Every structure is written in structure tokens, then in C-alpha cells.
A and B are shown apart, each in its own frame.
Chain A
Amino acid sequence: MATILTPQATGKLVGKRVRRREDPRLITGTATYVDDIQKPGMHHACIVRSPYAAARIKGINAQAALALPGVAAVFTGKDVAALGPVPCGASLPGLRVPHHHILAQDRVYFTGHPVAVVVATDRYIARDAADLVEVDYEELPAVAAPEKALAPGAPAVHPEWPDNTAFTYHQEGGDVNKAFAEAEVIVKQRIISQRLIPTAMETRGVVAEWQPGDKALTVYSSSQIPHLLRSLLAGMLGLPENRLRVVVPEVGGGFGSKLNVYAEEALMGFVAMKIGKPVKWIESRRENFLCTIHGRGHVDYYEIAAKKDGTILGLKLKLIQDLGAYHQLLTPAIPTLSVLMMPGLYRFKNILADIVGVFTNCVPTDAYRGAGRPEATHGIERMVDMLAAELKMDPAEIRLKNFPQPDEFPFATATGLSYDSGDYEAPLRRALELVDYPRLRQEQAEARQQGRLMGIGLSTYGEVSAFGPSPATPAGGWESATVKIDPAGKVTVLTGASPHGQGEETTFAQIAADELGVDLEDVIVLHGDTAVVQYGIGTFGSRATAVGGPAVYYAIQKLKEKIQKFGALLLESAEVTFTNGNCVCNRNGKSVTLAQVAAASYRAMKLPPGEEPGLQVTYFWEPPNFTFPFGAHIAVTEVDRETGRVSILRYVAVDDCGNIINPLLVDGQVHGGVAQGMGQALYEQAVYDNNGQLLSGELTDYAIPKAGMMPWLETGHTITPSPVNPLGVKGVGEAGTIGASPALVNSVVDALSPLGVRHIDMPMLPEKIWQLLQQGGQA
């Protein structure tokens, strides 16, 4: 395994709070998003969508739309019947995969299902014309909740599968029956991780342009995965992949919702080829809510078994996953990630999990920040707290009792993972110290005496990150980097990880500048264009730095060998060291600069034996394992007895993401992550009525936290380097989200525990809490 570089040991930039180089263009409004792209002759598309969650399409009449001046074309399902399908990249034994056409054929399966596309010379005409397309629907019974969909007699989402079951999945580790037989205490709870709407600031958008002369298509899309999108889109459209270019310009947030391949991406490609003009489609916010994937959607039945001293013996889970009407790219795989992480940070070795993947007449669920891991963490962290309550143990104590010790790593889990490195006590002890835990409990006791409802909630979370070794991922788990040095000695890094807000233009430049001994300003980082970057996997699952970073690092190591060889040639010396941006002769101390070496490598008057001219290396790095970041969050809350409102008095997050390349960016990721976890805990839920209409269909009805609603976040870090990669990094993109929701729910349950409250499902809306208070804790 690679040696680990601690931040202190490396150069002048890695480990420093370097400001994001991306920000000036974002803040000054000079960044280019999909909607900023203009092309000569560009047309605009508007999609006609189903107002019903389930209906038969009896006919479509587009005459009135076509008659509107400016309308170029209307396409319906039959025009695109041969294209697609929208791909599902996940494979599970026995998985039922409905054929997902890019426009509905004779039936619609969820509200918002695309039925037709109108193309016009401007956006407004397209929108008006869409209203003129008459679709004759015969409404059918719909089902919009997973447990209802499983009930006998429920309407069948796909008539061919009347049980609405897409798959079942079973996993076992250790001997769970023995664990439960030997248990001195067993706690059971049904726990909901509600459907959430990812709500990226920028909605989706596509511009497609056909170059008839070259028989080539360029697709601009707001995506997290340009290369995978190209490969899959080529298949959907029947184009050779080398004639399809995907460009991802600035992306205004993805959170997993753009880790996908959508019908509209293929549809715009089709339209551009058909009309011979560039075409743009920008998703409205309402469409974004209705038609971009949702996240979570679990109903979980947990049972935890333990000894009286708090030693956890085993965990059982029955997981009902609301899949929605179709499988998007990773839909059925997400709950399997929950199962992988169900032991959390604890040592017990006996688990049993059964997943039922359920079709509903709703938009598909898929990866949303954390993707399976927030659900798992929420489950285990709630169960551990409930167990502590049952045993009258302190929640910190029960956790400390069940962690594996640092010398037990790599730690083999009951679900077959190998946790790379960890010191799980460290962040918990640090967080307890930051809040002054004993004093806080004292304060709580005093508050209770005064009749105040104050709660302290802990969560110690772990996650599987840095997806991942290729055999364990659907599409390859490596990442690529190309590092080139131009003849004047300036450095260009190309990364296949398509960062879209995370800041790798800064962190990868920090790594490259330190390794090559040049200034940050001398390095640029390019990404997101399949014509520029050879191939890549993308940014998701907290992987960009932990998989893409090492690719950059290794590319540079190879490049350095070449630099030294050219340096040796110039210095006419056999022993040359490349250090601080110069090649230095070990014997006489003479040196040449990187720029001189670069110039000579391109001028190529002389070449080192066996070397090509130029300075460029591409490296595909295959990680040997996932990484496993962890941490501890503590939330202090108070509940208003009369209104049920929760206020967050303090929030402490101590994360361990291995070595830290840029503490400023790590804090930013934690802040954003906690905001999203807090959104789930307190405010957000996608509400469908019984007919499959999305009631929380706009931002006034779907409550995401705003800056003013955030508590002051106190962050801290412990550093346990990962042995998986040479940078010792683990990934931090999802940590905050994963840690936050259980900390907050545990805190509010703690606040209400004097009234006998044992559990609250998210979101903890004031009304729900007030009802609990009314019923003396029994709901």
C-alpha cells in the first residue's frame, strides 16, 4: 500500500485554507451555465407532461400547436419508440426493469411523465404551444405510497407485475438468530426516511447541436457524469460514441440528482438531429420537482438485540424502498448501500436485512446526497439511542462501548466491508469536549426543573465513500487524470471527476502545485468536456478528491520521472533530482528550471533514450478499497411547548475525513451537508396525495432551509489518514448530511423523553411535535 503523506509533510499549499478559485466567476455572474449557451438558429423545446399519475393515452392531437406561428415540430411517443430506453445501471438478481421510453407510449406512470415535446423558435411560443397539444387521457387508479402499493388489491403500477414488487434482496452476516436468542434486550422501531426533493439551485437543462457535415452531435447538459452520459446517450440514440460530445458547463448543484441519464437528454439529441437546428430545453422549477429524481423514500422496520451492559449483538432490518414508477440510473442500488452501512460504526457482527423494492406512481427515487447512507445512519443511530434509553445508559457511553478500537483496523464488518482506518472515539470525545457534555447535561437537568424541553442528541456516523473499486461499482470505480506541462512550463490538469461546485479546481491545483513546485497560479484544472478529457467517471459518493486526487498525484509522479530524464539530459548528469520546480544535479548543484526542461522536451533536439517528446501523462487510478470517513455530531435543541417548534441551540460537527487538503472547503462541505440533513430532519418532505399528485410541488410548499434558518455551526476535525490512497484522504461531500438528521432527531426525542416520547419520524414538523405533547408522548 502507498505511503501516506500527512498534510504537514507536504508542501506549501496542501493543508492550507486556500480560497476557491471557482468563486470569482460564480460571484460576479460570469460563469456559463447551460441556459447561458446561445447558438445561431437555436430552437426551444417545451415538454408536454402528464397531469395524471396513471392514465391511458387514447390520442394526441397536435394540430392546434403546429398551427401556432413559430412552432417547428411536435414529437410524441411513436416518433421515439425505437430510441432509448432510459438506462438503469444497477443490476440485482431477479430485478424487474420496466422499459423506460423517452416519451410515454400508450400509458403514463407518474404525474409529470413526458408525453410530447414541442419545438419552436422561442421559449414562450414553445410554452404556449405545449398548452395547445390535446392529449386524451383515460385516468387509471394510482398508488403513491410504498406500503399501500404492497397491500393486496392495490392498483398495479405496471400491469405486468401486479404485486408492485421490483425486487427483493436478502443479506445476512454472522448468526443473527443466535444473537437475538442470546439477547437480554430487544428494541424494535419502524423508522421513516421520507421522500425528499434534491432542489439544486440550477434546474436541469440541455442544449443539443447536430453538425450534419460531421454527422456529430454535441450535447450540453447540467450533469455530474459527462463521460458516462456520453456512453449511455450514444446507445440511446444509436450514435457511435466518438461522434457524440458531451459538455458540462458550470453546474448549479447536483446533490446526486444529476448523477443520472434522463429522457430529456436523449430527447433533445433526437430533436436536434431531426430538425437540423440546435435546440435548448431548460427545466422549470415545477418540472424539477415533478420529474427530476427524488431521494430517500424508506420505510424501515428495525430490531436491535443487545446485552444488558449495552453490548450490541445484532441488527435486523426490513427495508421497504419506494422506487417510483421506473428505475433511473441507480434507483434499485441505493437501498443496497443502506444495507452495507447498517452496522454503522459498531463492532457487532450479526445482521440480517431484507429489502423490498416497490413501484409507485411517483417520480423515481435515486441517489441524493448520502444515497442510502443517511437512511442507514439514521436507522442505526436511532436504534442505538433507543437502546440506551431502554437500558438507561448515557448515549455517549453506549457508543463508546461498541466502537472497534484503532488497532482493529482494517475492520471487517458484518456486511462484508473492510473499514480502512478509524479512531471512532476521537471525534466523539472531541465533540463532547466542545459542548462540555457533563455541564450541558447539568444545564438540561436544570431546564427540565423549570419545565423547559431541552434535548441533547448525538450521532456518530460512518460512511462508505470514494466509490470505489471497479468490481464493486456499476460502471468502473477508477478515476483519470492527465497532467500536461506546456512549453513555457505552465501546468494543465485534466480530471475525469467532473466537479460541479465541490472545488477541485482549487484542491487539485493545490496538489499539482505542491508536487511540481510551482505556484498555484501556474496550474489550471479542466473538466467536464468529453472532447477535452479522455474519459472519466464523475463526481458523486464523496469520490472526487479521494479517487480523482490520487489519479492526479500518480500522473504527476510519472511526469516527474520524465522531467528528471530531460533535466539529466540538459544538465549532462546521470544523477538529477527534481525539487521545488527545478532539476538539480546531485553532484555539482547546477540546475535548470521546469520551464527550461519543458521547452527542451517540446523542442526535442535530443531525447532521453526511449522517451517521446513533450510532457504529458495520463493516469487511470484504480482504488484498492472504498474509504470510510466518520465523525460525531451533537445537536442541542429546545422545543416550544405551546407551538411544538424546535430551536437549535447549538450544533457541533466533528468530522474525520482523513487528511485535509483544504480546511476551508471541508468546512464548506460540512456546512452545506448539515443544512441538507437539517432540512430532512425538520422541514422537507415530498407529499403526494392518494391520486399521485405532488402537493409539495413548488418552493412555497416544499420547505428547504434558508441561510437565516441555520444555527451557528461549530466544526472540528480529527485526522485519521486513509491507507487506501497516497494522499490519505477519505472524502467529505456527504458527511454533514449523514451525521445531521440522527443528531437532530435524537436531540428532540431526548427533549421530549420526560413525556415518554421514544421516537419521532422526520420531518419533525411543529404540528407533529405538538400532537405528541397533547397525547402525553403517545402517538
Chain B
Amino acid sequence: MNAFEYAAPTTKEQAVGLLADRWGDAEVLAGGTDLLSLMKDYLPTPKRVVNIKDIKELQGIKYSSATGLRLGALATIEELLSNAAVKKEYPALAQAAEGVSSPQIRNAGTIGGDLCQRPRCWYFRSGLGYFPKDDGGKDLIPTGQNEYHAILGNSGPAYFVHPSSLAPALIALDAKARIFGSAGWREVRVEEFFVTPNNDGDRETVLKSNEILGEIILPPAKGIRSATYEVRQKEALDWPLAAAAVALKMSGNTVQSARVVLGHVAPVPWRSQAAEQALGGKAIDENTASEAGSAAVNGARPLSKNGYKVQLARVAAKRALLQAAQGGA
């Protein structure tokens, strides 16, 4: 890790003032569970690190049945997991938080940090950037060690998968991200928060280098049934191989509208309108869930070694749907 200047502002205004106009010069530090290990590998080598953990305004979780849920970007994943309203009203989100382990990571890692964490692609982590190429300029990943890479949204140039497992649940639950910058607040749907980078200097979100993610707002979830299902290789210290988060608005036994979002399958969390449409007006059973699962991976293009992920994504979607249908509102 290189030497750097350290700042610990106590207001969001100070924080954005301390950030830089271009990526690379300064980095935001929240829980540090990702940033510090990245810096130890010399991936970012910022001149300044801006610790935002002391900004009270961005902490905490609040719920009201009228306005919904407000998650401070600095609330930890453990706070999310142990929040009774989240468990009851937004089970997809609680289940996603539960998957993030160990407890140490949940206690230190923040919600904002989870959404802004950098790709786990082992080429990226070895310092080869988003788009590693061989000596002849050909992309390395499509024929390389791509077991854990993208099966959707991978027509290039990016093949990594977005590592956040909270993001699919937030998107399924129609959350909005509130971003603070020198011009004040701006708001985007979490679905639009993530972008596929085209250049090595880009990032994976719409955040600008001098903005911070401030809070996440979820609408009330009355009448919504939601669930997250993840497939993991091991039960700890690991990211899912594939995951699905679903939210269903039911009328009686039939689906009025659905949101189906796959995680860990594409450079961004992957919303599947095909799966959503496949469910409209139907009751959820083994068959319809299975069909929706297949629809979700329609158009998947596995790379040389990750065909298995197509199956996992299909199964994750199916099981998330069955779980949501069984669960209460």
C-alpha cells in the first residue's frame, strides 16, 4: 500500500469537497473491507483517502409504513440483517444480507460499500484491469479462467460480474439511490445506478469521482412478496455463483406484476423482463416458476467454462419465486 493523505470529514459537504475531480486521486473509505484490500494490492493508489464513517447524517436505518425504508449508506450489513422491519417487510433484502458472511464483514461492511465494491474478477484483482488482453490484443477472459464470469451482458468488452448481492434485492424492491455532490442531492433508481464500464478509467456505477452515495430509499412493501435465493460454493467468505431476487405483487393467488433480478451473472445486476412477463397473471407453482427461470436466462451466452452458471441462475430464479410465493407479504 502506498502512503496517502487521510481525511475524516464529519459532514457530507466537507466530504465531497475533499474528493477529486477525476477518478484515482482520492477514494472514499467506508468500512474498508474492500478498499483496504484493493489498496494493499496497489489497485487504487489514491493520494487521499476520505473516511466518511463520521458523517452522522448518512448512518442508520429508518422504517415507516407510510414512506417506506430509508437506509443510510453507512448503515452496516449487520444492522440491515438485524432490523425487524426489514426482515418482515423486505425479506428479499434480509435474505441477501444474511448471505454476506462472515459476521466480521457484516459488522464492518456498509450498505453503500456493498453497492460500490469493486469487481472480484481475478484478472481485475491481479492488476490486469477490466479488459485483460493477451499479447496479440485478444480478450483473455472468453477463453480463459472464466468459471465465475458473466453469462449475460457479456458481448464485451466487460466480462466480470457485479459482486454486490444486496443490489438485486434492492432493484427487485424498486429502491432509489440518493447521491450527494457539490451541486446537492440527485436521485437515480438503483437499477440505473450500475453501468458497464467501457474504458479502464471508468467505474461500475453512475457516481462521479466527487460524489458519494448517501442513502437508499425503498417504497413501502405492502402486498409485495419477495425473496432472494443464492447458490454458493461455500457458505462463508465467498460470493454467490449466481443469485436471484424477486418481488411479486399478488392478487389472490395470481401474479399481478413481478420483478425478477439476477445477481452475479453480468457486469451489472440483471433485471429480466422476459421472466417478469412470463409470470403475469399466473399462479406460482413448480411449473410456472421453472418456466420463468428459463425465461430469465434466455439469451445467456456462456463463456468457455461457465455454462454451469446458466443452470444455477435458472434454478436460483425458480427457487426465489417459489420461496417468495410461499412467504408472507
Please determine whether chains A and B interact with each other in the same assembly.
yes
> Does A706 reach chain B (CB closer than 8 Å)?
yes
> Does A770 reach chain B (CB closer than 8 Å)?
yes
B73-81, B178-186, B228-236, B270-278: which one contacts chain A? Answer: B228-236
Which of chain B's residues 220-252 have a Cβ closer than 8 Å to chain A?
231, 233-238
From the candidates A645, A700, A766, name the one contacting B238 in the complex (CB within 8 A).
Answer: A700
Q: Is the CB of A706 within 8 A of B231?
A: no
> Does A175 reach chain B (CB closer than 8 Å)?
no
Contacts of B233 in A (CB 8 A): 683, 703, 765-766
Q: Is the CB of A706 within 8 A of B237?
A: yes
Which of chain B's residues 110-151 have a Cβ closer than 8 Å to chain A?
120, 122, 145, 147
Contacts of A709 in B (CB 8 A): 234-236
> Interface 1/0s, chain A 644-658, versus B by CB < 8 A?
110000000000000
Q: Is the CB of A771 within 8 A of B308?
A: yes
Q: Is the CB of B231 within 8 A of A643?
A: yes
A699→B102 CA distance, assembly (Å)? 13
> Does B312 reach chain A (CB closer than 8 Å)?
yes
Q: Is the CB of B237 within 8 A of A708?
A: no
Q: Is the CB of A643 within 8 A of B236?
A: no
> Does B315 reach chain A (CB closer than 8 Å)?
yes
> Does B311 reach chain A (CB closer than 8 Å)?
yes
> Does A488 reach chain B (CB closer than 8 Å)?
no
From the candidates A699, A700, A766, name the one contacting B120 in the complex (CB within 8 A).
Answer: A700
> Interface 1/0s, chain A 679-691, versus B by CB < 8 A?
0000100000100
- Given the interface contacts A695-B145, A700-B120, does A706 sit within 8 Å of B311 by beta carbon? no
> Does A701 reach chain B (CB closer than 8 Å)?
yes
A771→B147 CA distance, assembly (Å)? 14
- Given the interface contacts A700-B120, A701-B122, does A770 sit within 8 Å of B311 by beta carbon? yes
CB closest chain-B residue, reference A693: B126
> Does A705 reach chain B (CB closer than 8 Å)?
yes
> Does A160 reach chain B (CB closer than 8 Å)?
no
Report the minimal beta-carbon distance from B239 to chain A, rounded to whole angstroms: 8
Q: Is the CB of B311 within 8 A of A703?
A: no
> Does A767 reach chain B (CB closer than 8 Å)?
yes
Q: Is the CB of A767 within 8 A of B308?
A: yes
A78→B120 CA distance, assembly (Å)? 40
> Does A433 reach chain B (CB closer than 8 Å)?
no
Chain B, interface size category, equals 10 to 19
- Given the interface contacts A695-B122, A771-B308, does A703 sit within 8 Å of B238 by beta carbon? yes
Which of chain B's residues 10-46 have a Cβ closer than 8 Å to chain A?
none
Q: Is the CB of B145 within 8 A of A708?
A: no
Report the minimal beta-carbon distance from A125 to chain B, rounded to whole angstroms: 11
Contacts of A644 in B (CB 8 A): 308
A645→B308 CA distance, assembly (Å)? 12
Chain A interface residue count, CB cutoff 8 Å, equals 20
A721→B231 CA distance, assembly (Å)? 47
Q: Is the CB of B120 within 8 A of A770?
A: no
- Given the interface contacts A689-B145, A700-B237, A706-B237, does A643 sit within 8 Å of B312 by beta carbon? yes
From the candidates A643, A683, A695, name the one contacting B315 in the complex (CB within 8 A).
Answer: A643
Which of chain B's residues 179-218 have a Cβ closer than 8 Å to chain A?
none
A708→B311 CA distance, assembly (Å)? 26
Contacts of B102 in A (CB 8 A): 706
Contacts of A700 in B (CB 8 A): 120, 237-238
CB closest chain-A residue, reference B42: A131
> Does A642 reach chain B (CB closer than 8 Å)?
yes
Q: Is the CB of A708 within 8 A of B235?
A: yes
A706→B234 CA distance, assembly (Å)? 9
Contacts of A642 in B (CB 8 A): 311, 315, 318
Report the minimal beta-carbon distance from A704 to chain B, rounded to whole angstroms: 8
From the candidates A705, A767, A770, A771, name the one contacting B234 in the complex (CB within 8 A).
Answer: A705
Question: Of residues B122, B234, B237, B315, which shows the largest number of chain A Cβ atoms within 10 Å of its Cβ?
Answer: B234
CB closest chain-B residue, reference A679: B234
Report the minimal beta-carbon distance from A691 to chain B, rounded to whole angstroms: 12
Q: Is the CB of A683 within 8 A of B234?
A: yes
CB closest chain-A residue, reference B148: A701
Report the minimal beta-carbon distance from A203 to chain B, rounded to whole angstroms: 16
Contacts of B318 in A (CB 8 A): 642
Q: Is the CB of A645 within 8 A of B231?
A: yes
From the candidates B122, B235, B308, name the one contacting A706 in the complex (CB within 8 A).
Answer: B235
Q: Is the CB of B237 within 8 A of A699?
A: yes
Contacts of B315 in A (CB 8 A): 642-643
Which of chain A's residues 139-177 have a Cβ closer than 8 Å to chain B?
none
A330→B194 CA distance, assembly (Å)? 53
Contacts of B236 in A (CB 8 A): 706, 708-709
Report the minimal beta-carbon distance from B292 to chain A, rounded to whole angstroms: 15
A695→B234 CA distance, assembly (Å)? 17
> Interface 1/0s, chain A 696-738, versus B by CB < 8 A?
0001110101101100000000000000000000000000000
Report the minimal beta-carbon distance from B310 to chain A, rounded to whole angstroms: 11
A771→B310 CA distance, assembly (Å)? 12
Question: Of residues A643, A644, A683, A766, which shows the largest number of chain B Cβ atoms within 10 Å of its Cβ?
Answer: A643
Contacts of A645 in B (CB 8 A): 231
Contacts of A767 in B (CB 8 A): 147, 308
CB closest chain-B residue, reference A695: B145
Which of chain A's residues 655-696 have a Cβ closer than 8 Å to chain B?
683, 689, 695
A686→B120 CA distance, assembly (Å)? 19
Contacts of A701 in B (CB 8 A): 122
A102→B142 CA distance, assembly (Å)? 40
> Interface 1/0s, chain B 93-109, versus A by CB < 8 A?
00000000110000000
CB closest chain-A residue, reference B120: A700
A412→B102 CA distance, assembly (Å)? 50
Contacts of A765 in B (CB 8 A): 233
> Interface 1/0s, chain A 633-648, versus B by CB < 8 A?
0000000001111000
Report the minimal beta-carbon distance from A52 to chain B, rounded to whole angstroms: 14
CB closest chain-A residue, reference B239: A700
Report the minimal beta-carbon distance from B214 to chain A, rounded to whole angstroms: 29
Report the minimal beta-carbon distance from B160 to chain A, rounded to whole angstroms: 15
Report the minimal beta-carbon distance from A124 to chain B, rounded to whole angstroms: 8
CB closest chain-B residue, reference A645: B231
CB closest chain-B residue, reference A766: B233
Report the minimal beta-carbon distance from B297 to chain A, rounded to whole angstroms: 13
Contacts of B120 in A (CB 8 A): 700
Q: Is the CB of B237 within 8 A of A770?
A: no
Contacts of B101 in A (CB 8 A): 708
A689→B236 CA distance, assembly (Å)? 25
A642→B315 CA distance, assembly (Å)? 7
Report the minimal beta-carbon distance from B220 to chain A, rounded to whole angstroms: 34
Contacts of A695 in B (CB 8 A): 122, 145
A443→B285 CA distance, assembly (Å)? 27
A700→B234 CA distance, assembly (Å)? 10
> Interface 1/0s, chain A 745-779, versus B by CB < 8 A?
00000000000000000000111001100000000
A699→B236 CA distance, assembly (Å)? 11
CB closest chain-A residue, reference B235: A709
Report the minimal beta-carbon distance from B134 to chain A, rounded to whole angstroms: 12
Contacts of B122 in A (CB 8 A): 695, 701
Report the minimal beta-carbon distance from A71 to chain B, rounded to whole angstroms: 16
Question: Of residues A700, A705, A767, A771, which shows the largest number of chain B Cβ atoms within 10 Å of its Cβ?
Answer: A767
Q: Is the CB of A643 within 8 A of B311?
A: yes
A703→B148 CA distance, assembly (Å)? 15
Which of chain A's residues 263-304 have a Cβ closer than 8 Å to chain B?
none
A705→B233 CA distance, assembly (Å)? 11
Contacts of A705 in B (CB 8 A): 234
CB closest chain-B residue, reference A683: B234
CB closest chain-A residue, reference B318: A642
Contacts of A771 in B (CB 8 A): 308
CB closest chain-A residue, reference B101: A708
Interface contacts beyond A706-B235, A709-B234: sample of 8 additional A-B pairs, CB < 8 Å, sorted by A: A642-B318, A699-B237, A701-B122, A703-B234, A706-B236, A706-B237, A767-B147, A770-B311
A-B contact pairs, 13 of them (CB 8 A): A642-B318, A643-B231, A643-B312, A683-B233, A683-B234, A695-B122, A700-B237, A706-B102, A706-B237, A708-B101, A708-B236, A766-B231, A767-B147
5 tightest Cβ-Cβ pairs between the two chains A and B:
A767-B308, A642-B315, A706-B236, A703-B234, A709-B235
